[in-house]
Amino acid sequence: MAECVKVCTGNFGKGAQDIEVYKKLGGYGDALKRVFEMSQFELIDYVQRSNLRGRGGAGFPTGMKWSFVPRNSGKPVYIVVNADEGEGGTFKDHFLMMEDPHRLIEGLIIAAWALGTRTAYIYCRGEFLPCIESLNKALNQAYAAGYLGENIMGTKFSLDIFVHRGAGAYICGEETALINSLEGQKGQPRLKPPFPAVSGAWKSPTCVNNVETIMALPWILQHEPEEYAKMGTPRAGGTKVFCISGDVKNPGVYEAPLGTPMMTMINEYAGGVVGGKLKAVLPGGSSCAPLNAEEAAVATMDYECLASMKTMFGSGAMIVINDTHNMVDLLNVLGNFYSHESCGQCTPCREGTGLLHRILNLIVDGKGHDGDVELMQSLCGGFGGVTICPLSISLGGPVSSYTAKFRKDFDEYIAKNPDHAKPRVQETYRPGIFW
Amino acid sequence: MSNYYNMPKLPTENSPKVEIFVDDRPVMVPGDTNLLEALKAVGIETPHICYHPYLPVSGNCRQCLVEQEGPRGRMLVISCYTPVVPGMKIYTPASSERVKNARKATQEFMLVNHPLDCPICDKAGECTLQENFMEAGQNESRLRPEVGKNYHGNPDHQFVDSKGQVRGGKHVDIGPRILLDEERCVQCDRCVRFMRSVAGDEQLQLAGRADHTYISTFPGEKLDHEYDLCVTDICPTGAMTAKYFRFQKRVWLLSHTPTVSMDDSLGANIWLDHADGKIWRMMPRCNPQVNRSWLSNTSRMAFQTFSENRLPAIDASAIKIGEGKVAIVLGGTCTIEDLAAARMLKDSLGGRAELFGGTFRAVGKADGIAKSGDPMANRKGFKVMGVGDNNLQDLVKRVSEFETLITVNADLFGEDAAAASPLEKIKNRIALSAFDDATAKKATVAFGIRHWSEVQGTMVNSLGILQKLNAAPTAPEAELRPAYEVLSQLSGTAITCASKAFKKAGEYASVLAEYSYDNIKSTGALLNGVEV
Amino acid sequence: MRNHIQGAVQFVANNRLKFDRPAQPIEALPDPAQSLGHVHKAVAQPSAKEVLDKLSTPEVKARCADLLSRYPVPQGALLEVLWVAQGVLGWCPREAIRWAANVCSCAPAHALGVATFYTMYKHAPTGRFLLQFCRNISCSIKGAAPLIKYVEKSLGIKSGETTPDGLFTILQVECLGACGNGPVMLVNDEFATDVENGQLTLKVGSHLTEESIDRILKWCYAREEKFPKGEPVRDVLGGEVKGHGGHPGAPGAKAQLQSSDYAPVSPVLNVKAEVDANGATLTWKAAPEFTKLVVEKKNGASWASVGEPGVKDKSFVDAKGKVGDVYRMISTTGERVAKPSKEATATQKPEPVEKAV
């Protein structure tokens, strides 16, 4: 395990929740001074050169996202930090906000400078009350020290940051749903266009960035953008905070450069698979397609390699599964999750995720039937690209890939039903003697 | 719930025409609208459930999918939210198997948790879901009975039926005029958008999420608004049904007469749905310039009294206009034809007849939806025809001059008995009225005529639009005649057809002369030079 | 026989059924739930007065005022105001939802939709300790399901139920965002995998076991003895933040709009000059807000303007440019002139590499 530059997690375990400690560690210093001498355009160009990509899952280049925001439109520009981390297997933002809230605030000041933001919001999911407390404590310290509020550090620049507590909806991690939730509505994704960068919260330009993206900014500003870009792959610069969970010895949050081989992550960072042999890895959170042991052996953790293996990098949340688990059980868990978290807007997702979950439940209960797997695959075909947001595909994708890669598990379960091959009695309704 | 401020742009006659390619064939469509409307304009119907031309686009039913050629290949898009771009390439089910399958799949999802009780559903026959299913749906269920259904319903109303199935509220008394069947709701949120964006009073909301979503008012509150029955019109399924029409008549037994509501001077365009010589309901008829798709409860429910308390037809010889001065009072529901006939009568009587018009009822304010607030429906028509539209006070003051009073569709005593009481001084009082109202009771001769729902005719609404009334065959007696027939007969030149009466009106009002009764469109014609 | 059938068909065909009964609204039938039984037990709702009495304290008012000052539109504070109500009452009765709607000046039905959309607003009272167990993928890989069964058995209730003494409510929830510690639980709002020194802890590498659950339950009982009058109040919004100015324009906000000239104006970036047969071609990266661009060439010690390309132009050709000429560009944004760009020395444009056929 090569020693890696710690961009986001450098202050872990050092008590950086306190502003004095954070300043001693280099916070609120050179980076801000450097930023305050830059124009907005220069700063956006700087971030573009660092090749920083959004860390929330979609991996959109951050600098480019900022450059889409119309400046001088006469409307306020909002930055909303997406701390609604709810994807199964993802828990980096939780620990980033707990351990280093000031870095998030400093990153927000930098981002706000780039976009001319007066008011920024941190949308934190409701379950993270300890994180919100940690952030609010840090905000109080930052206000007291003059890093927030009117005329920050003697400049003409002012910024207020508010923490908005969500209330339990996974879908609010989608940026337009998050904006709706911030506006005090139901967290349902909006139709696009208009994209939030043009018309988002309260019809104003809005940038939604992940916690980790914002927290990478202070380091990038302390160093040179090329230094950051160099650490990753050609398409995406920098390091990534990986979350490793599941059947490994040391699950947790690890920062590593993009492009690290998957087995290095599992064996060297997380201490190896426990409880059995490696069966599958979900490389990017619960909604991505799993890789089986052979694929995991050759995969590297970056956007390109995982995309080429028909799965996705997502938020870098690896879930390691050993061979004692049946994939049907896990898919049932996902079915439960996604059918519970569908916002109820688009028909295929609203009705379809629940339907898939009911079919999976039957299979798990030993009432599976021949043809159920094909039926599920066919139903998932009805999800493809037809809904406003990708939540339906987040279940449709796993259903297709689990059934394709681990068909044996499904057949085993279905075989538990003694009547699994009995032909289905088709009830027909046709004009009978009454007509 | 989505961007609730994005109203669809609708094509107009002046829309620029652009060329797009539908199924690889070049087609000229209106260029300033969405794809769904553009395709409709060239005769390609796209099934849709949540889209409504006069509501903000919500895009949640995913039924109107088409394929669009884009930079990343052919993508499925919803046609209701895709603007028309010149040169765009569109594929409909006619050529694309993918679109066909996607619509079928959406249709299947739509019905997964929807009760299949069309035979006992009151919406059957005019249900969007049913129509879409018949067009593109899947005939056989692919699900095993064990999969079961997860009916949508308010947890407070859910119950377990005799088969052990959890059911949603089947007849929830959601408001004084509407019943809700929670299971039949497909969460299109049309009613939510209507109440929020059109009615401006967000009384309905989808509560819960995922497949537990249900439509609800705030607990303990009722859906109660002057326009709440519009919710039953726009509901694509049988979830919201109007109590007054529920289980009264199967909709396929109804015939529809397009006409204009004479309840209000906006002249909301309506359908009179009738069967067996009886009006069963009144539905709004879309007119983009007038009432769009909306109709107020007052106007809508007015039909219930149309057949009640009617005056019988009597022989016209009973009407005797004596000597002395004659006051002819015309009520607000008189059509242009009636006014023309009244002027003919005045002309025939020479200088001793005078025309009066107006109402004792208060004039309110326009609500911006489908009411102008003016109870005198044809007020603009009176102005066009040169008949006083507000000179009743004049008549009351000069009541001693007159010896004969003819009221036509004017219930003066019913509107304000105190204000009308001086008119009793006139000896010879002839009432031409559809109803046996207070004025008819006070009259010396009460002559039954047809109600406005039973006559051919025209009116000019408060926006200066000349609109056409059509006769529903619902007159209680075949002998009843329209007012213009009776008046023209009294004048000595009998006119028995509305088109001739309209032509006659053209002689009195030059602005009408350029139209003939038959070429007035169903959405009316904007009159030139009529002040609004 | 045949005649008989024909007759019957004709009879039916000619039978004009007439439904002449008076038009009467069909009354709503009695609620079938009354005869067949409700699925859910009705939750007793407190009266409006009880709720408003508890919510009309000065602290709550001050808190709501602070929250409203944070958003441009009062409705933005709806989620937070609902939290405040839940913090005071322990759950969200209907009247509290209506109160929140009034505070945020939105329709009560809207607030109902919001309060039922998000799962953390409780629509029935819960026990003093709300035990939320994650059942999502990482936790179930590590054995969440047997642990939940264990808790259910040791407390004698099922998930979603409250113990008769009103102490515990068990809930199964989706991902709690602490998958590295899976299986994990929330005790009220505190993450917990174990108890140490009388504190709930969430240590890296630790996870729930049957023993640690026993310790957590024991901690709860001890807590109940320590605070017999109920849990000490924990701020539902994680504490107040002092010193903020609110959102510009919101009621009670001091903040002003961002001044447009807080940052220096942008110079032209990435100026490059390459010489070919046509002269020197300059390329650069321009900000969208530029209103004027000037290209200057070094002439000894001074700079001479050689042209003004349009703000949307991508390149500029100086026909007299030679290799070794030094260029710079100066941009103007509105009234403000930026500092000159970095100097660019013209270089020979590399010959286009011909591809081998």
Q: Please list the pLDDT of chain C residue by residue as tens digits (357 residues).
A: 333 333 333 333 334 444 445 555 556 667 777 777 788 888 899 999 999 999 999 999 999 999 999 999 999 999 999 999 999 999 999 999 999 999 999 999 999 999 999 999 999 999 999 999 999 999 999 999 999 999 999 999 999 999 999 999 999 999 999 999 989 999 999 999 999 998 999 988 899 999 999 999 999 999 999 998 888 888 999 999 999 999 999 998 999 999 888 989 989 998 888 888 888 888 899 888 888 899 998 888 888 888 888 888 888 888 888 888 899 999 988 888 988 988 888 888 887 776 655
Total domain count, chain B: 3
Q: Which residues of chain A from 333 to 392 reach within 8 Å of chain C, CB to CB?
A: 333-334, 336-337, 340-341, 343
pLDDT value, residue A426: 59
Q: How far is A77 from chain B (nearest CA, A)?
A: 18
Residues from chain A that touch B143, judged by Cβ atoms under 8 A, are: 355, 375
pLDDT value, residue B404: 93
Give the residue from B247, B271, B292 where a domain finishes: B247
pLDDT value, residue B171: 86
pLDDT value, residue B255: 92
Give the residue from B224, B247, B270 where a domain finishes: B247
Query: What φ, ψ does residue B216 adopt, rounded to 5°?
Result: -155, 155
Taking the Cβ of residue C269 and every Cβ of chain B, the question of whether any pair is shorter than 8 Å is answered with no
How many CB contacts within 8 angstroms connect chain B with chain C? 90
Are B130 and B83 within one domain? no
Confidence check: pLDDT of A322 > 50? yes
Are B238 and B321 within one domain? no
Residue B492 lies in a domain: yes
Taking the Cβ of residue A386 and every Cβ of chain B, the question of whether any pair is shorter than 8 Å is answered with yes
Residue B294 lies in a domain: no
Taking the Cβ of residue C5 and every Cβ of chain A, the question of whether any pair is shorter than 8 Å is answered with no
Compute the average pLDDT of residues B324-353. 93
Contact B113 A342 (CB under 8 A): no
Residue B273 lies in a domain: no
Residues from chain B that touch A353, judged by Cβ atoms under 8 A, are: 210-211
Q: How far is B104 from chain A (nearest CA, A)?
A: 8
Which residues lie below 8 Å from residue B511, measured CB to CB, with a gap of 6+? B384, B527, B528, B529, B530
pLDDT value, residue C24: 58
Selecting from A180, A194, A388 the residue whose C-beta is nearest the C-beta of B59 gives A388
Are B158 and B83 within one domain? no
Split at pLDDT 50, 70, 90, the class of A435 is very low
Confidence check: pLDDT of A434 > 50? no
Residues from chain A that touch B75, judged by Cβ atoms under 8 A, are: 385
| Cα–Cα distance for residue pair C158/C128, rounded to 1 Å | 16
Whole domain around residue B347: which residue ranges? 316-526
pLDDT tens readout for residues A240-271: 999 999 999 999 999 998 888 999 999 999 99
Selecting from A136, A202, A343 the residue whose C-beta is nearest the C-beta of C238 gives A136
Question: Burial, B197: exposed, middle or buried (Cβ in 10 Å; 0-12, 13-18, 19+)?
Answer: middle
What domains does chain C contain, in order, with CATH numbers? Answer: 48-117 (no CATH), 129-226 (3.40.30.10), 269-348 (2.60.40.10)
Residues from chain B that touch C36, judged by Cβ atoms under 8 A, are: 159-162
| Cα–Cα distance for residue pair C298/C322, rounded to 1 Å | 12
Compute the average pLDDT of residues A315-339. 93
Selecting from C138, C175, C244 the residue whose C-beta is nearest the C-beta of A143 gives C244
Residues from chain C that touch B250, judged by Cβ atoms under 8 A, are: none
pLDDT tens readout for residues A85-131: 988 899 999 999 999 999 999 999 999 999 999 999 999 999 999 99
| Cα–Cα distance for residue pair A304/A235, rounded to 1 Å | 8
Are B218 and B360 within one domain? no
Are B57 and B138 within one domain? no
Contact A143 C287 (CB under 8 A): no
pLDDT value, residue A238: 86
Percent of chain A having pLDDT more than 70?
97
Domain of residue B133, CATH code:
3.30.70.20
Percent of chain B having pLDDT more than 70?
99
Q: Which residues of chain C from 270 to 289 reach within 8 Å of chain A, CB to CB?
A: 285, 287-289
pLDDT tens readout for residues B165-220: 899 988 899 999 999 999 999 999 999 999 999 999 999 999 999 889 999 999 99
Q: How far is C201 from chain B (nearest CA, A)?
A: 33
Are B161 and B53 within one domain? no
How many CB contacts within 8 angstroms connect chain A with chain C? 260
Strand partners, C171: C132
Taking the Cβ of residue A190 and every Cβ of chain B, the question of whether any pair is shorter than 8 Å is answered with yes
Selecting from A37, A87, A251 the residue whose C-beta is nearest the C-beta of C175 gives A87
Q: Which residues of chain C from 88 to 147 reach within 8 Å of chain B, CB to CB?
A: 94, 97-98, 106-113, 116-117
Q: How far is B204 from chain A (nearest CA, A)?
A: 14
pLDDT value, residue B39: 93
Helix (H, G, I), strand (E, B) or coil at C271: strand
Residue B290 lies in a domain: no
Split at pLDDT 50, 70, 90, the class of B532 is low
Residues from chain A that touch C239, judged by Cβ atoms under 8 A, are: 133, 136-137, 140
Give the residue from B232, B247, B262 where a domain finishes: B247
Are B339 and B440 within one domain? yes
Residue with structure tokens 């709503």?
Answer: C28
pLDDT tens readout for residues A375-389: 999 999 888 778 999
Measured between CA atoms, the residue of chain C closest to residue B245 is C25
How many CB contacts within 8 angstroms connect chain A with chain B? 120
Residue with structure tokens 């309209």?
Answer: B502
pLDDT tens readout for residues C143-173: 999 999 999 999 999 999 999 999 999 999 9
Residue B187 lies in a domain: yes
Confidence check: pLDDT of B441 > 90? yes
Residues from chain C that touch B217, judged by Cβ atoms under 8 A, are: 109
Helix (H, G, I), strand (E, B) or coil at A412: helix
pLDDT tens readout for residues C323-357: 888 999 999 888 889 889 888 888 888 877 766 55
Taking the Cβ of residue B187 and every Cβ of chain A, the question of whether any pair is shorter than 8 Å is answered with yes
Q: How far is C125 from chain A (nearest CA, A)?
A: 17
pLDDT tens readout for residues B346-402: 999 988 999 999 999 999 999 989 999 999 999 999 999 999 988 999 999 999 999
| Cα–Cα distance for residue pair A341/B482, rounded to 1 Å | 63
Compute the average pLDDT of residues B78-100. 93
What domains does chain A contain, in order, with CATH numbers? Answer: 19-231 (3.40.50.11540), 239-322 (3.10.20.600), 327-414 (1.20.1440.230)
When mean pLDDT is compared across A181-185, A421-425, B75-79, C280-284, the lowest value belongs to A421-425
Are B440 and B337 within one domain? yes
Give the E-state strand segments of chain C in sequence order: 129-134, 168-173, 185-187, 190-192, 194-196, 199-201, 269-276, 279-285, 292-299, 302-307, 315-318, 326-333, 336-337, 344-345, 347-348
Selecting from A342, A378, A385 the residue whose C-beta is nearest the C-beta of B209 gives A342
| Cα–Cα distance for residue pair B130/B235, rounded to 1 Å | 13
Are B217 and B241 within one domain? yes
DSSP A95: H
pLDDT value, residue B204: 95
Query: What φ, ψ does residue B383 adopt, rounded to 5°?
Result: -65, -45
Measured between CA atoms, the residue of chain B closest to residue A176 is B2
pLDDT value, residue A433: 43
pTM comes to: 0.93
DSSP string computed for C69-124: TTSSSGGGGHHHHHHHHHHHHSS--HHHHHHHHHHTTS-HHHHHHHHHHSTTS-SS
Measured between CA atoms, the residue of chain C closest to residue B162 is C36
Q: What is the mean pLDDT of chain A?
A: 90
Q: What is the mean pLDDT of chain B?
A: 91
Contact A426 B65 (CB under 8 A): no
Q: Report the residue of B2, B117, B177, B202 to disrupt the C interface, i.e. the one with the largest count of C CBs within 10 Å.
A: B202
| Residue A297: both structure tokens together | 């052996």
Domain of residue B397, CATH code:
3.40.50.740
Selecting from A191, A348, A385 the residue whose C-beta is nearest the C-beta of B106 gives A348
Q: How far is C180 from chain A (nearest CA, A)?
A: 5
Residue B307 lies in a domain: no
Q: Which residues of chain C from 293 to 352 reach within 8 Å of chain A, CB to CB?
A: 338
Contact C142 A136 (CB under 8 A): no
Are B366 and B503 within one domain? yes
Percent of chain A having pLDDT more than 90?
75
Domain of residue B96, CATH code:
3.10.20.740
- Chains with at least 3 CB pairs less than 8 angstroms from chain B: A, C
pLDDT value, residue A34: 93
CB atoms inside a 10 Å sphere around CB B321? 18
Query: If DSSP states are collapsed to H, E and C, what string results for B307-330?
Result: CCCECCCCCHHHCCCCCCEEEEEE
- Chains with at least 3 CB pairs less than 8 angstroms from chain A: B, C
pLDDT tens readout for residues B232-259: 999 999 999 999 998 888 999 999 999 9
| Cα–Cα distance for residue pair B483/B486, rounded to 1 Å | 5
Residues from chain A that touch C66, judged by Cβ atoms under 8 A, are: none
Are B82 and B130 within one domain? no
* Residue at B532: amino acid letter: V
Contact B210 A384 (CB under 8 A): no
Residue B279 lies in a domain: no
Closest residue by Cα to residue B142 from B165, B109, B119: B109
Are B377 and B228 within one domain? no
pLDDT tens readout for residues C237-268: 999 999 999 999 999 899 999 988 898 998 99
Residue B518 lies in a domain: yes
Contact A119 C137 (CB under 8 A): no
pLDDT tens readout for residues B278-314: 999 999 999 988 998 999 999 999 999 999 999 998 8
Residues from chain B that touch C106, judged by Cβ atoms under 8 A, are: 202
| Cα–Cα distance for residue pair A237/A51, rounded to 1 Å | 5
When mean pLDDT is compared across A334-338, B10-14, C103-107, C115-119, the lowest value belongs to B10-14
